[in-house]
């Protein structure tokens, strides 16, 4: 009998699917995988229905419908001051597909790619799949700052690119100006491409606008900026994302994209284009998540949990050891979902190697307040009953 591809047979199931599967099996509250329980804004749902009735439901242009490409460019010009035009935008079926297309377009077999840990678990497998080698640079809790000396030590003549996630999932931290300038300087000095996963750019609660590495000096032709309607609008199942790059780079990104998903459903693209033009809608989404964030953070603190600092994403992390739980994060995650009925994500699952912090747990707060309150109570009772 022929065997299947060993690259994939050896891969574990993603931690997000594993924990969500356990949540379903045990009827648990799912604060693990990052998605809201509420539907997307009614205005966007109505826009989809209207597009299905009034517009084409056949193949859209491979690079995306012009209306959405224009909307993305306009959004970044007005919100982030980026000089972006339609020919720099390629629409993808979600941000993970965008990351895959960027990796395929930018990286070649034998290259080395810097990844900062903790990291979204798709990065390293995608790098390996093109025959390249991930090189991991750790970020240290509780502030998860990028260390210039550690980055310099990781660079070799084979280093081709780095993947940067800002705001950072799973920690909810945001890069400061000095770090962004430092990373841009490293990229320019060593002639590196930078794949910037910026899907959480509007989901931040520090009152500051997002700034992209794409805007730094020398970065215009070496940066691929990735965004996601799923995160901006809480429409994770729509799988509408995009890549932004210099026109000559975008053309190559499109060639990689055309042999992945080729296109994304046009009715969803038209709806997202409408949504990106509504600043009040985007602000209302963030305000709702800010309220949920306060419910989880304040509730955990009131129960004596040590909440780590973070100002973005849908996630709050807790320090287990400082919260009176003398177990590693994977053990806690498995026991919580089975014994307390709450799913979470152990941060060490987003880390490769033996140096992972094993005392940090990620919880998703983009849920109804009553659900969050119930989850906090279950977690606290479980901790208090540990022997």
115, 127 Cβ separation under 8 angstroms: yes
The whole-number pLDDT of residue 387 equals 66
Give pLDDT tens digits for 343-370.
999 999 999 988 899 999 999 999 999 9
The domain in which residue 125 lies consists of: 60-277
Which three-class secondary structure state does DSSP give residue 362? strand
- Are 219 and 352 found together in one domain? no
Is residue 13 in a domain?
Answer: yes
State the chain's mean pLDDT as an integer. Answer: 96
- Are 82 and 194 found together in one domain? yes
For residue 4, pLDDT beyond 90: no
Q: If we measure between CA atoms, which residue out of 80, 11, 18, 17 comes closest to residue 334?
A: 18
- Are 96 and 123 found together in one domain? yes
137 has which bridge partners? 116
- Are 264 and 289 found together in one domain? no
State the first-to-last Cα distance of the chain, in angstroms, to the nearest integer: 50
- Are 235 and 338 found together in one domain? no
* Phi and psi torsions of 286, nearest 5°: -65, -35
How would you class 161 by CB atoms within 10 Å of its CB: exposed for 0-12, middle for 13-18, buried for 19 or more?
Answer: buried
Overall pTM surpassing 0.85 (yes/no): yes
Q: d(Cα 30, Cα 18) in Å, to the nearest integer? A: 12
Give pLDDT tens digits for 138-164.
998 888 999 999 999 999 999 999 999
**pLDDT tier at 2 (50, 70, 90 boundaries)?**
confident
- Are 126 and 235 found together in one domain? yes
228 has which bridge partners? 241
The whole-number pLDDT of residue 12 equals 80
Is residue 290 in a domain?
Answer: yes
Instruction: Using a pLDDT cut of 70, give the percent of the chain over it.
Output: 99
Mean pLDDT of all residues in 13-25: 94
Give pLDDT tens digits for 75-127.
999 999 999 999 999 999 999 999 999 999 999 999 999 999 999 999 999 99
Question: Can the peptide bond before residue 167 be classed as cis, meaning omega within 30 degrees of 0?
Answer: yes
CATH of the domain at 100: 3.40.640.10
Q: If we measure between CA atoms, which residue out of 303, 304, 306, 318 comes closest to residue 365?
A: 318
296, 314 Cβ separation under 8 angstroms: no
285, 232 Cβ separation under 8 angstroms: yes
* Phi and psi torsions of 310, nearest 5°: -175, 140
261, 115 Cβ separation under 8 angstroms: no
Helical (H) or strand (E) element with 191? none
For residue 1, pLDDT beyond 70: no
69, 89 Cβ separation under 8 angstroms: yes
Domains of the chain: total: 2
Give pLDDT tens digits for 171-217.
999 999 999 999 999 999 999 999 999 999 999 999 999 999 999 99
The whole-number pLDDT of residue 3 equals 80
Give pLDDT tens digits for 268-286.
999 999 999 999 999 999 9
Mean pLDDT of all residues in 62-69: 98
51, 271 Cβ separation under 8 angstroms: yes
Instruction: Using a pLDDT cut of 90, give the percent of the chain over it.
Output: 93
CATH of the domain at 342: 3.90.1150.10
């Amino acid at each position: 009998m022929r065997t299947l591809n060993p690259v994939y047979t050896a891969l574990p199931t993603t931690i997000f699917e594993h924990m969500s599967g356990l949540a379903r099996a045990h009827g648990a509250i799912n604060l693990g995988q990052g998605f809201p329980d509420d539907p997307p804004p009614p205005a966007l749902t109505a826009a989809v229905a209207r597009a299905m009735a009034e517009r084409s439901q056949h193949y859209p242009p491979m690079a995306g419908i012009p209306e959405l490409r224009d909307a993305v460019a306009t959004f970044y010009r007005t919100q982030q001051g980026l000089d972006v035009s339609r020919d720099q935008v390629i629409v993808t079926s979600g941000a993970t597909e965008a990351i895959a297309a960027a990796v395929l377009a930018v990286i070649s077999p034998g290259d080395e790619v810097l990844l900062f840990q903790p990291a979204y678990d798709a990065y390293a497998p995608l790098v390996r799949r093109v025959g390249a080698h991930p090189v991991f640079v750790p970020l240290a809790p509780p502030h998860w700052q990028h260390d210039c000396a550690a980055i310099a030590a990781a660079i070799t003549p084979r280093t081709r690119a780095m993947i940067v996630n800002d705001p950072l999932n799973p920690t909810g931290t945001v890069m400061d100006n000095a770090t962004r300038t430092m990373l841009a300087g490293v990229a320019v000095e060593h002639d590196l491409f930078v794949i910037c996963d910026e899907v959480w750019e509007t989901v931040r609660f520090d009152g500051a606008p997002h700034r992209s590495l794409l805007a730094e000096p020398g970065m215009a032709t070496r940066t691929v900026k990735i965004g996601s309607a799923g995160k901006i609008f809480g429409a994770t199942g729509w799988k509408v994302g995009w890549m932004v790059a210099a026109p000559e780079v975008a053309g190559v990104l499109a060639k990689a994209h055309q042999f992945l998903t080729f296109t994304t459903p046009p009715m969803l693209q038209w709806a997202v284009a409408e949504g990106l033009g509504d600043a009040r809608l985007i602000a209302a989404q963030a305000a709702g998540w800010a309220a949920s964030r306060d419910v989880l953070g304040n509730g955990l603190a009131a129960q004596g949990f040590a909440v780590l600092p973070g100002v973005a994403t849908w996630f709050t992390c807790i320090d287990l050891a400082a919260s009176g739980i003398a177990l590693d994060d994977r053990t806690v995650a498995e026991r919580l979902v089975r014994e307390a009925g709450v799913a979470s994500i152990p941060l060490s699952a987003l880390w490769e190697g033996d140096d992972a912090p094993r005392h940090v747990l990620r919880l998703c707060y983009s849920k109804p307040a009553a659900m969050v309150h119930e989850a906090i109570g279950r977690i606290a009772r479980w901790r208090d009953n540990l022997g």
